[in-house]
Amino acid sequence: MSLDKYVLLVIIFSGLVTWLSRILPFVLLKKFTLPKIVVNFLSFVPISIMTALWVESLLVQHLGSLPSLNVENVIASVPTVISAVISKNLMIIVIVGVISLGVIKFVM
């Protein structure tokens, strides 16, 4: 399989644009200080993203109808949420979530 120059340039420039879009904000924010209200607003972004990902994993989308619950993920979420409330340690939360989902898939 030969690699066309155009394809190679697209791959290189796409990688460069992706890298710059991830690095440039950090470089710019080192030189400026954001207002307290912006920092406060941005502190909610990680929890919002995690909540959206979690809720999305609990639902199974069907074409032309309402989504249904993914029962395995809902059941696995119970011990995971309990471990999150108790420990507040991301490593423990991930381990409990993976183990609980593995046990549920093994049993069902």
pTM: 0.62
Percent of the chain predicted with pLDDT > 70: 98
Residue spans of the domains in the chain: they are 1-32, 43-107
- 3 SS3 class: coil
As a whole number of angstroms, the distance between CA 66 and CA 68 comes to 7
Residue 68: beta bridge partners? 60
Q: Is the pLDDT of residue 96 over 60?
A: yes
**Averaged pLDDT score across all residues of the chain:** 91
Token pair for 101: 């989902």
Q: Is the pLDDT of residue 93 over 60?
A: yes
Do the bridges between strand 68-69 and strand 59-60 make them parallel or antiparallel, or are there none, so unpaired? antiparallel
- Tell me, rounded to whole angstroms, the distance of Cα 43 from its chain centroid: 16
Q: Is the pLDDT of residue 32 over 80?
A: yes
Question: pLDDT-derived band of residue 1, with 50, 70 and 90 as boundaries?
Answer: low
The arithmetic mean of pLDDT across residues 50-62, rounded, is 90
